[in-house]
Structure formats: structure tokens, C-alpha cells
């Protein structure tokens, strides 16, 4: 309910695309941080694998109005993994 209030009940393609780009960028950044990626080529390949995966492309082609929700779910999964692996070092 909170996310629908933020996004709205109508799936405007511009808003869905913008939110998807933001969520995928943060997901790639979090994954690169977890894997300690330093090379630009490796970062480029990681972004290509995450954003160009067949699952994301098929979901985007079929359920355009839900693409940002799927990208948000990926971001929350990456955030949970990051907090489990890196969050303790910052808390102690």
C-alpha cells in the first residue's frame, strides 16, 4: 500500500522506466560492492548481465507495469545480502 501511494495505481511508462533504472543502478552498485569489483570492464559486464538477463527482458516485455516492482524486489534482495555481509562491520 505504501509503494502504490508513492508510485500511483496507473503504470505510467515514463515513471516505471525511471524507477526501474534507479533501482537497477543501485542493485548493480550494491552487487559490485559485495563482490569488490574494481575494474571498469568487470563492472560493465556485471551491469550487462544484471540488466540484460532474459528474466528481466521477458518480464519487461510482458508485464511493463510491474517492471519497477520487480527491480525494487531485486534491490531489496541485494540490500539484505549487503547488510548481512557488510552491515555488521559498520555496526561494531
Q: What is the pLDDT of residue 12?
A: 82
The model's pTM is 0.85
Alpha-carbon span 80 to 86, nearest angstrom: 10
Alpha-carbon span 77 to 44, nearest angstrom: 21
Strands (E) across 28-87 are located at none
Residue 86 has phi, psi (to 5 degrees) of: -115, -20
pLDDT truncated to tens, each residue of the chain (92 aa)?
A: 688 787 777 778 888 889 999 999 999 999 999 999 999 999 999 999 999 999 889 988 898 888 999 999 999 999 999 999 887 766 55
Q: 36 with 28: CB under 8 angstroms?
A: no
Alpha-carbon span 3 to 56, nearest angstrom: 20
Amino acid at each position: 500500500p505504501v509503494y502504490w501511494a508513492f508510485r500511483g495505481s496507473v503504470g505510467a511508462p515514463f515513471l516505471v522506466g525511471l524507477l526501474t533504472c534507479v533501482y537497477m543502478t543501485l542493485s548493480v552498485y550494491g552487487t559490485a560492492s559485495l563482490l569488490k569489483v574494481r575494474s571498469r570492464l568487470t563492472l560493465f559486464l556485471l551491469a550487462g548481465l544484471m540488466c540484460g538477463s532474459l528474466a528481466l527482458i521477458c518480464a519487461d516485455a510482458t508485464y511493463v507495469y510491474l517492471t519497477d516492482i520487480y527491480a525494487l524486489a531485486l534491490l531489496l534482495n541485494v540490500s539484505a545480502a549487503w547488510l548481512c555481509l557488510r552491515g555488521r562491520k559498520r555496526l561494531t
